[in-house]
Structure 1
Amino acid sequence: MSQKCHRVIHWFRKGLRLHDNPALIEACKDASELYPVFVLDPWFVTNSNVGANRWRFLAQTLDDLDKQLKLLKLRLFVVRGNPETELEKLCKKWKITKLTYEVDTEPYAVARDERVGKTMEDLGVSVIPCVSHTLYDVHSIVKINGGKAPLTYQSFQTAASRLGPPPQALPAPTLQDLPGCRNLASDAHGKEFEIPSLTELRVCESDLGPNLYPGGETEALDRMERHLKKVNWICSFEKPKTEPNSLLPSTTVLSPYLKFGCLSARLFYHKIINVYKGKKHSQPPVSLIGQVLWREFYYTVAAVTPNFDKMEGNPVCKQIPWQENADHLNAWKQGRTGYPFIDAVMTQLRQEGWIHHLARHAVACFLTRGDLWVSWEEGQKEFEKLLLDADWSLNAGNWMWLSASAFFHQYFRVYSPVAFGKKTDPNGDFIRKYIPVLKKFPAKFIFEPWKAPASMQQAAGCIIGKDYPKPIVDHDVVRQKNIQKMAAAYAKSKSSTSETNKNGHKELSSKKRQSDDVGDGPSKKKKKS
C-alpha cells in the first residue's frame, strides 16, 4: 500500500452520487485528508432561472449525498461563493494538493473549469477531471465522426458503435478505499458548510408543488430498481407508445436523476442491457436504451456547437422569423390558451416540475410553428425554469427539434391541441385533474369546451370566455398559415435541401403539407425529452 500523501478536494457539481464516480475514486487514492465540496454560487440563487421545485430537488440531493458520505466517515462541505475564488481559498486553507471533479461539457462549465485549472496550476495543485456524466467522452465521438458533430441519430449511432460499449459503471467507494484517511465528518466546522435550507435558496413554501420525485442518489437507485423489475415492460418499451396524459407517469421519470447525476447513465445503460439478455426487445431509437442514446446525441452536438441554445449564430439552427407576442407567451406559460390539453400540461409542469416527453412535444409545437409562432428560445427559458430535469443540452436540442429548427424538418407535421390528447385520454381525466374548472364537462366537449352549448356550460359551472378562456387562436387557421411561413423560411435557407436529404425526409406534396395535423405524434424516430 502506498503512503497516504494527498490532501484532496473532490468538487461535486453534477455527478451528485457515490456510485460510478471515477473522479471520487481518484480522490480516494493516496488521500490523507478528503474534502467533498459543493460550491453554491449565491448569484445563481438570486439571478438564475431556477424554479422552486428544482431548488428543492437540489437541496434534497445534497442532503442525501451528505448522509451517504457520512457512512464513509466523510461529510459534504457546501461552500457559498464564486467557485474559482472559494476553491482557491480552500486549497490554501486546507493545504490541498489534488483536486478532482467530473467533466462538464456545457460552455459555462468549460470556461469556468479552464479558469480553475489555471488557478490550481499556480497553486501547484494537480487536477484530475474524469468523464462520467455521459456514456462516452463526447469529444471522442466527434473525433471518430470526422471532427464534426453527428447531426442525425443514425450518424451518431454509427460513430458511437465504433467505440464499442460504454465503460462499465464503477462501484461506490467504501471505507476500505480510505484506509488512513482522516475522519473529517466529526470536525466542528460551524454552520458555514451546512446543506442549504429552502429559506436560504429563497424558496417560498407556497411556490412548491407536491414532492412526487424526491432528490438524491438513494431515491434514484430505488426508482431505477423498481422499474428494472418490470422485465416485460422494459423489453417492450417504445417511447412513442407511452401516454403523455396518464394520471401516473407512463415512463421511468429518471430524467431528473440523470440530469443532476444522482444516477449514472452508464449504470442505467448496462442494467437495461442485462435485462435484455436472451430476450426479444425493442430497438433504438424508441427503446429504453434508445432514450439514453438520445441524451448522448444531444450532449455530443451541444459540446461542439457554438450558441447551441440560441437561434442566431447557431450553425445547426434554421433562421426563422418568429414573432414576439407577450400575451400569447404568457397565456401559454400560465395554462390559459383556451385549449384544455395544452393548458393541463402546462399546469402540471408548473405544479410538479415534470411532464411526459410527448406532452412536451405538444406544448412546444403549439408555442412555436404549430399555433403561436413564438420563438423556441422563449419556451426553452420556461422549461429551464420549471423542469426538474432541465438540462442545457437536451433542452435546447429538443426545442430546436420540435420547432423544426434543427434535426427534424417535417415542419408540415403539426400536433393537434385537440386530437392528440384525445387519443390516450378520451374521457379527459388528465384535464379534469389539472383544470378542475372543466371537470364537469362531458367527454364530448372537454377537449373543446367552447363548442358546448351555453346551457351545458352553465350546468358545468364554467362559462367559456369568463371562467375559462376561449381559444386564443383558431388552430385550423393558424396551422395553415404557419406551415406556409415555415416553407418560406426553409426556402431562404441555402442548406435546406441538403439537410432534408441528409436526414432522410421525403418532401410531400403541398396538399399533404396543408393537411397533416397530427393526433399521434410526428414520427417514430423521436428524441428523448
Structure 2
Amino acid sequence: MTCETSFCCESPRARRLPLGLVWLRRDLRLHDHAALSAALRACDRVALAFVFDRDILDALLQRGLQADRRVEFILAAVEEIDAILRERGAALIVRHASAREAIPALAAALGAQAVFCGRDDEPQARERDAAVERALQRDGRALHTVKEHTIFERDEVLTAQGKPYSVFTPYRTAWLARYAAQPQHPWEGELSAGRLASLPAALRHALPTLAELGFAPTNLRELKLPLGASGARELVGDFLRRIDDYDQARDFPARKGPSYLSVHLRFGTVSVRELAAMAWARQQAGSEGARVWLSELVWRDFYFQILFHHPQVVHGAFKPVYDRIQWRNDPAQFAAWCEGRTGYPLVDAAMRQIKQTGYMHNRLRMVVASFLTKDLGIDWRWGERYFADHLNDFDLAANNGGWQWAASSGCDAQPYFRIFNPVAQSEKFDARGDFIRRYLPELAQLSSKDIHAPWKAPTALLQAAGVRLGENYPAPIVRHDLARAETLERYSVMKAQ
C-alpha cells in the first residue's frame, strides 16, 4: 500500500527493512532529500536509482527535439550524484528504459523491500506511479511516496469550508499563516558510506552518454549555467546577496534581478524547503525583496494544487466558459511569433531569448503570452506547447497556470480585458532598449526612444540606423489597438453565449 502522508516505519517500534530503493525523479541532489530521508529512517541500507524514462524521452525525439538542453542538464546532475556515491564506495543505478518497467525490475534484482520517491501530481506521472505500485505489490513490495518539491501540497492549504483555493491572493494568505505555524525544516542528515548498499556487478553499468540516449549536444555549457546541485548552491549564494533588491529589479529583463534558480527548482538540484526557509528568515528581518520572492514560491505551490484538484486544466480552460472562444489561429502569425518576427521588438527579443537559451524572463513570459492570445487571437494551448518544448524550466503546473492567466481562462480574479500593450511594456521595463539590442542586433543603432516601435520612427532615422522595415526587420504583423478591440469583442461574444 502506498504511504502518502508520513512514512509508516517512522515509529521506533516499527520493523526496519533490510534494503530500500530510492527512485530519484525531480529531486536530483543528495542533501535535504525527502525520499532518501524516509528510506534511511526505515531501512538498514539504501540504493539509489534514476531512470531516463523512454516514455518521456522518446516523445521528445518524436517531436524533433534531439537537441534538448533539459536532457543535458539532467545528465550533468546525474553524473554529479554518481560521482559522490562512487566516492563513498557505491554508485547510482541509471537506466534508459520505461520507468514503469525498470523500477519494479530493479527492486526485484536488488531484493529491495520498498521503493521510495517524491510525489508527482502531473496526471501522466500519477498514472505511471500507479502502474509501478501495482507491479511492486504483485511482487510483495511497496511504493512509498513523500512530499518533495512543494512546501504545501494537495489538501494542506484549504479554505475555511475545506475546499481548494482557486484564487491566488487568499491562498497566499492561508499559505503564509500555515508556514508561520508550521515551518518546513530541511533534512539535516548525512548519507554515510555505511548506509549504502553494495551493488551486484550486473547492476553497475556505466552512465549513458547523451548520444546513447538519442540526443545531440546543445549550447547549454556555453550559456555558463551552473549545473548540478553544486551549481545550484553557487546560484543560491549569488542570489542571497541580491535578494533584498528583488522586488525592485525583478521586472527588468536587462538587469540581473531574478534568482535564475527556476530550472534547478524544476529538477530538484536545489531544495525548495531550503529556499523557503532562507526567504522566510530574510522576510522576517524586514527584506521586501525576500517577501516578494517568497510569494513566487507560493505561486508554485498554488499551481501544483490547482493541477492536483483540477487535472482537466491540462487540456481545457479552468473556467469552462472560455473553451467557447473562437480563436483566429493563423498559422503564419503563429510562426512569426515563434521565430521572433512579429515586428514588436520586445516580443521578438523575448522569443529569440527562449530559442537561443531555453530561458525567458518572467515579465516577458507574460508579455509574449498576452501578445499571442490577445493581439493575435491564437489559442493559449499553442503557446503552452511551444513553451513546453523550449523552456529549460518547463513545469506543467506553472506553464499551464501562466498561460491560462494570460488568456484570462484560468484561476484568476482579473477580467479578460487585461491586455498588455507590448510597446508600453517595452518602454517601461526596457527603457533604454538594452535587452532588445542584445537579441535584435539589427535594431542596435536605433535610439532608446525609437527602438520600442521602429515603424513610428522617421524614415531618415531608420536609414541612418540601418533598419529596413520589411527587409531586415519586419513591420508589425498586427496593429495593437485594432487587435485589442477585436479581442474585447471576441471575449464579449463568448461571454454572452
TM-score, with length taken from structure 2: 0.88
Task: Choose from 8, 28, 38 the match for 2:50.
Answer: 38
Q: Does the alignment pair 1:58 with 2:74?
A: yes
Q: Does the alignment pair 1:379 with 2:398?
A: no
Residue type at the aligned position of 1:357? N
Q: Does the alignment pair 1:155 with 2:167?
A: no
Residue type at the aligned position of 1:238? D
Specify the alignment match of 2:31 in structure 1: 19
Matches of 1:20 and 1:183, distance apart in 2: 23
Matches of 1:340 and 1:315, distance apart in 2: 32
Q: Does the alignment pair 1:342 with 2:347?
A: yes
Q: Does the alignment pair 1:333 with 2:338?
A: yes
Specify the alignment match of 1:227 in structure 2: 239
Deviations 1:124-164 (A, max 9, x none): 1132211121102322324x654532011233135433573
Structure 1 residue 365: Cα displacement: 0.2
Deviations 1:340-381 (A, max 9, x none): 110000101111111111111100000002x00101111111
SS of match in other structure, 1:318: helix
Residue type at the aligned position of 1:403? A
Matches of 1:329 and 1:52, distance apart in 2: 22
Matches of 1:41 and 1:458, distance apart in 2: 53
Q: What are the residue-to-residue correspondences of 1:35-434 with 2, within 5 Å?
A: 35-48=47-60, 52-142=68-158, 146-160=161-175, 161-162=177-178, 164-175=181-192, 179=194, 181-184=196-199, 188-189=201-202, 193-205=205-217, 210-230=222-242, 233-234=243-244, 237-238=246-247, 242-246=250-254, 248-279=255-286, 281=288, 287-311=292-316, 314-315=318-319, 318-319=322-323, 320-369=325-374, 371-408=375-412, 409-434=414-439
Structure 1 residue 430: Cα displacement: 1.3
Matches of 2:203 and 2:22, distance apart in 1: 20
Matches of 1:480 and 1:108, distance apart in 2: 39
Specify the alignment match of 2:6 in structure 1: none
Matches of 1:94 and 1:101, distance apart in 2: 16
Contact 2:280–2:290 (Cα < 8 Å) also in 1: no
SS of match in other structure, 1:35: strand
Matches of 2:221 and 2:464, distance apart in 1: 31
Matches of 2:267 and 2:189, distance apart in 1: 17
Matches of 1:315 and 1:457, distance apart in 2: 45
SS of match in other structure, 1:80: strand
Matches of 1:162 and 1:4, distance apart in 2: 32
Distance 1:219 1:207, change over 3 A: closer
Contact 1:244–1:359 (Cα < 8 Å) also in 2: no
Distance 1:109 1:280, change over 3 A: closer
Deviations 1:25-53 (A, max 9, x none): 22234645532111112243232366622
Deviates more, 1:42-51 or 1:434-443: 42-51
Contact 1:104–1:110 (Cα < 8 Å) also in 2: yes
Structure 1 residue 110: Cα displacement: 1.0
Matches of 2:270 and 2:338, distance apart in 1: 30
SS of match in other structure, 2:469: coil
Contact 2:46–2:195 (Cα < 8 Å) also in 1: no
Deviates more, 1:206-215 or 1:65-74: 206-215
Matches of 1:94 and 1:190, distance apart in 2: 9
Deviations 1:271-315 (A, max 9, x none): 11222334353686xx11111111111111111103222226x45
Matches of 1:145 and 1:182, distance apart in 2: 47
SS of match in other structure, 1:141: coil
Structure 1 residue 327: Cα displacement: 0.6
Distance 1:203 1:434, change over 3 A: farther
Distance 1:162 1:456, change over 3 A: closer
Contact 2:172–2:295 (Cα < 8 Å) also in 1: no
Distance 1:419 1:210, change over 3 A: farther
Contact 1:220–1:254 (Cα < 8 Å) also in 2: yes
Matches of 2:120 and 2:370, distance apart in 1: 30
Distance 1:281 1:463, change over 3 A: closer
Contact 2:343–2:474 (Cα < 8 Å) also in 1: yes
Q: CA RMSD in A?
A: 2.6
Contact 2:279–2:290 (Cα < 8 Å) also in 1: no
Distance 1:365 1:346, change over 3 A: same
Distance 1:282 1:32, change over 3 A: closer
Matches of 1:329 and 1:201, distance apart in 2: 31
Aligned residues: 477
Structure 1 residue 486: Cα displacement: 1.9
Matches of 1:180 and 1:405, distance apart in 2: 50
Matches of 2:195 and 2:434, distance apart in 1: 59
SS of match in other structure, 1:116: helix
Structure 1 residue 69: Cα displacement: 2.9
Contact 2:226–2:234 (Cα < 8 Å) also in 1: no
Matches of 1:227 and 1:73, distance apart in 2: 34
Residue type at the aligned position of 1:271? M
Matches of 2:394 and 2:321, distance apart in 1: 20
Matches of 1:345 and 1:180, distance apart in 2: 48
Q: Percent identity?
A: 28
Contact 1:31–1:181 (Cα < 8 Å) also in 2: no
Matches of 1:205 and 1:458, distance apart in 2: 40
Matches of 1:112 and 1:147, distance apart in 2: 29
Deviates more, 1:64-73 or 1:379-388: 64-73
Distance 1:155 1:72, change over 3 A: farther
SS of match in other structure, 2:332: helix
Matches of 2:460 and 2:329, distance apart in 1: 37
